[in-house]
């Protein structure tokens, strides 16, 4: 199966391209934009871990190491496409236009975090694993019925492929040839369970064969390849050629969440070695320097700028006024119903803020 689904690579670990880049696909300005999104998401992710440690946000699910998979794929989306993320896909959502402050609010337990910027079709992170895949399929079928050329992308991990919803989502998408791209980040661990214990299958890409669906296995730390293959899949979707499964092989350097200690289930030296050998940002930096797309000083300058951007978002997050208890009651139904109104009234009365219940 590994032979049938070889890992496609365009930018290797040394920062060299394995084939001549097509300029219209990956011009210098675009490569710098990719770099900006990569370093911005890494800076954001590290900041979140630090904020959690300081008690300024709640439990956080870091994605460091997976930036190229998320940034490369999200950059392939068009304005009116739909993005169905998990809780580890903020690099994708922020690249697609989600607001950093809003994302931070999610990890501060606030509902405003689930509202995307005007005109952006970003769904709140799916927490129950793989449940968003059938939604992505349904949203894609709706686009098909409306006769648009908008496509849908759904993110999920390697563990998700063991869930029924993965198979049901793919099967229905395949039956109806829905314009959806199933973007798998195979980071090789589902919390503590390594991929060898998750599946006997040698690849995730091969699972698409069961649904007669095209699939591709790519180096998820190679932002060029991720971008190119996702764009191809999205183009196919737009042209009525149906769904695609993409397996982006990657690695999360850190813990599953800040509540987890990865040294309990794996040797974290592996992560350090991978960071040195396969890092998605390092290899792009090497490529950019070698090809004079960007100078060292300019990269440093960009890094300073994204730090400021992230710090501003944190500042804004911390200035958001405290939540109101009304938010719990007021959005369950479009038009409120008496049991909820009654509970709200009794609550206010019980804390001395309303008429006696």
Partner 1 sequence: MSTTVKTNTLTFVQAITDAMKSLLEQHEEVIVLGEDVGVNGGVFRATDGLQQQFGTDRVMDTPLSEAGFTGAAIGMAINGLKPIVEIQFLGFIYPAYEQIMTHASRIRARTMGHYSVPMVIRAPYGAGVRAPEIHSDSVEALFTHMPGIKVVCPSTPYDAKGLLIASVLDPDPVLFLEPMKIYRAGKEEVPEDEYSVEIGKGKVVQEGEDVTVIAWGAMVPVAMEAANKMTARGVTCEVIDLRTLYPLDRDIIQQSVQKTGRTVIVHEAHRTSGVGNDVMSIINDYAFLYQKAPVQRVTGFDTPVPFFAYEDYFLPSSDQVIHAIEKVMNF
Closest approach of partner 1 to the CB of residue 252, in Å: 24
Nearer to partner 1, 123 or 294 (CB): 123
| Annotation marks residue 98 as catalytic | no
List 266, 277, 327, 350, residue binding partner 1 (CB under 8 A): 327
Nearer to partner 1, 178 or 284 (CB): 178
Decide if residue 349 touches partner 1 (CB under 8 A): no
CA 89 to each of CA 125, 142, 236: distance values in angstroms, whole numbers, following the listed order: 8, 24, 23
Decide if residue 245 touches partner 1 (CB under 8 A): no
Instruction: Pull the structure tokens for residue 75.
Output: 């950059």
Q: How far apart are CA 130 and CA 185, in angstroms?
A: 12
Q: How far apart are CA 328 and CA 58, in angstroms?
A: 19
Decide if residue 145 touches partner 1 (CB under 8 A): yes
Site for partner 1 in 40-99 (CB under 8 A): 82
| Annotation marks residue 253 as catalytic | no
DSSP 294-328: S-HHHHHHHHHHHHHHHHHHHHHHHHSPPP-THHH
Nearer to partner 1, 117 or 194 (CB): 117
Q: How far apart are CA 154 and CA 115, in angstroms?
A: 18
Alpha carbon 216 to chain centroid, angstroms = 18
Contacts of 116 (CB under 8 A, 6+ apart): 97, 98, 102, 122
Site for partner 1 in 106-135 (CB under 8 A): 111-112, 114-116, 123-124, 127-128, 131, 133-135
Which residue among 265, 274, 275, 347 is the active-site one? 265
Binding residues for partner 1, rule: CB under 8 A, are 82, 111-112, 114-116, 123-124, 127-128, 131, 133-143, 145-146, 164-165, 168-169, 171-172, 175-176, 327, 331-335, 337-339
């Amino acid at each position: 199966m590994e032979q049938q689904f070889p890992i496609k690579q365009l930018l290797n670990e040394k920062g060299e391209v394995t084939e001549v880049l097509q300029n219209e696909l990956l011009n210098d300005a675009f490569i710098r934009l990719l770099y900006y999104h990569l370093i911005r998401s890494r800076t954001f992710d590290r900041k979140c871990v630090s904020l959690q440690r300081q008690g300024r946000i709640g439990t956080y699910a870091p994605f460091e190491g997976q930036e190229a998979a998320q940034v490369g794929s999200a950059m392939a989306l068009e304005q009116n496409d739909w993005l169905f993320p998990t809780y580890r896909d903020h690099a994708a959502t922020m690249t697609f236009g989600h607001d950093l402050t809003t994302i931070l609010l999610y990890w501060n337990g606030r509902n405003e975090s689930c509202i995307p910027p005007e005109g952006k079709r970003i769904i709140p992170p799916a927490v129950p694993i793989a449940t968003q895949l059938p939604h992505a399929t349904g949203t894609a079928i709706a686009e098909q019925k409306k006769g648009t050329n908008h496509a849908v992308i759904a993110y999920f991990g390697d563990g998700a492929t063991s869930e029924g919803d993965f198979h049901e989502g793919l099967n229905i998408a395949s039956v109806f040839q829905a314009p959806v791209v199933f973007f798998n980040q195979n980071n090789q661990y589902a919390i503590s369970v390594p991929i060898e214990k998750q599946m006997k299958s040698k690849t995730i890409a091969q699972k698409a064969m069961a649904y007669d669906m095209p699939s591709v296995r790519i180096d998820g730390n190679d932002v060029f390849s991720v971008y190119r293959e996702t764009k191809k899949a999205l183009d196919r979707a737009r042209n009525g050629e149906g769904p695609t499964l993409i397996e982006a092989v990657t690695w999360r350097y850190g813990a599953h969440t800040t509540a987890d200690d990865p040294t309990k289930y794996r040797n974290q030296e592996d992560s350090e070695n991978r960071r040195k050998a396969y890092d998605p940002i390092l290899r792009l930096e090497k490529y950019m320097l070698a090809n004079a797309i960007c100078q060292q000083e300019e990269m440093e300058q960009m890094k300073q700028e994204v730090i400021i951007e992230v710090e501003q978002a944190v500042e804004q997050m911390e200035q958001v006024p405290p939540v109101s208890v009304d938010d719990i009651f007021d959005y369950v139904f479009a038009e409120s119903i008496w049991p909820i109104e009654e509970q709200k009234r009794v609550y206010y009365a019980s804390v001395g803020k309303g008429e006696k219940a």
